[in-house]
Amino acid sequence: MRSWWWKIFGGLLVGYTIIGGLLMPVPRLDILNETIRNLYFHVPMWFTMIILFAGAFIYSIKYLNSGNLKDDIFAVQLTNTGIFFSILGMLTGMEWAQYTWGEAWSNDPKQLGTALCMLIYFAYAILRNGIKDDEKKAKISAVYNIFAFAMMIPLIFILPRMVDSLHPGNGGNPAFKQYDLDRNMRMVFYPAVIGWILVGCWIASLKTRVGLIKYNKEEKSLQSDFEK
């Protein structure tokens, strides 16, 4: 039960987010109106993506230090789950932009930076599938993953803040904390961030467990073949 409490807690928080996000009152702001409810989904998904990519970055460094393929399994599954949440974050962001900016894609610097970041990580998945040798695949993937995370920081957090942007918190545009983010919204937003991050880590842990099971089976198969 000790290893399950955070998973149950995360699931409950996401359930609370969905219900509270749709039913609890929100401030009536110009242009945003009811679309501000997307804050409970779009932003936490980006936070989850960043946490997962950071975990993959750490395990990639661990693999390069240890050479243990289990560290590579953690890194790749954290990355794959992060890619999944990046897609969800992009889709929810485009849906929001459609109703607030007038079009789903407006070449906003934040959109462009995020799209480039996603392409870098998509290339990571393609790179892994193109290498057959496990150790070579793990080593090249680890180096690439470190590079990808290092590129994500300026693409998402630095460059969009240096130019004009429609996105809140970038290019002189105020962040949501400077808008009327009232007490009701905070009661949903903060649990949403925690809940989505925990669910994202849960998904990554399930995928990692499957990867470790396959790895252990392959190890046993190779050992039995060697003994024969």
* pLDDT digits (tens), the chain, 228 positions: 457 889 999 999 999 999 999 998 887 776 677 888 889 999 999 999 999 999 999 999 999 999 999 999 999 999 999 999 999 999 999 998 888 888 889 888 889 999 999 999 999 999 998 888 889 999 999 999 999 999 999 999 888 888 777 776 554 445 555 445 677 888 999 999 999 999 999 999 999 999 999 888 877 665 555 555
Structure token digits, residue 66? 């240890």
CB distance 136 to 58 below 8 Å:
no
Contacts for 117 with CB less than 8 Å, ≥ 6 apart = 86, 148, 151, 152, 155, 156
Quote the pLDDT of residue 178: 47
Give per-residue burial for 128-144: e unless 16+ CB within 10 Å, then b.
beeeeeeeebbbbbbeb
What whole-number distance in Å separates Cα of residue 131 and Cα of residue 141? 10
* pLDDT for position 162: 81
> Is the four-CA dihedral 135, 137, 139, 145 of positive or negative sign?
negative
Nearest CA to 60 out of 144, 125, 118 is that of: 144
Residues 211, 125: Cα–Cα separation, whole Å: 15
Q: Which amino acid is at 126?
A: I
pLDDT score recorded for residue 1:
41
Angle at 24 between CA 169 and CA 5, to 5 degrees: 85
Q: Are 207 and 214 in contact (CB under 8 A)?
A: no
What is the Cα–Cα distance from 169 to 113, expressed in whole angstroms? 14
d(CA 42, CA 29): 18
- Look at residue 175 in the predicted model and tell me its pLDDT: 53
CATH of domain 5-227: 1.20.120
Q: Which two tokens stand for residue 13?
A: 């928080």
pTM: 0.89
Q: What is the pLDDT of residue 25?
A: 85
SS3 164: coil
| Half-sphere exposure of residue 78: CA atoms within 13 angstroms, side-chain side | 25
What is the spatial distance between Cα 31 and Cα 147, in angstroms, rounded to a whole number?
A: 39
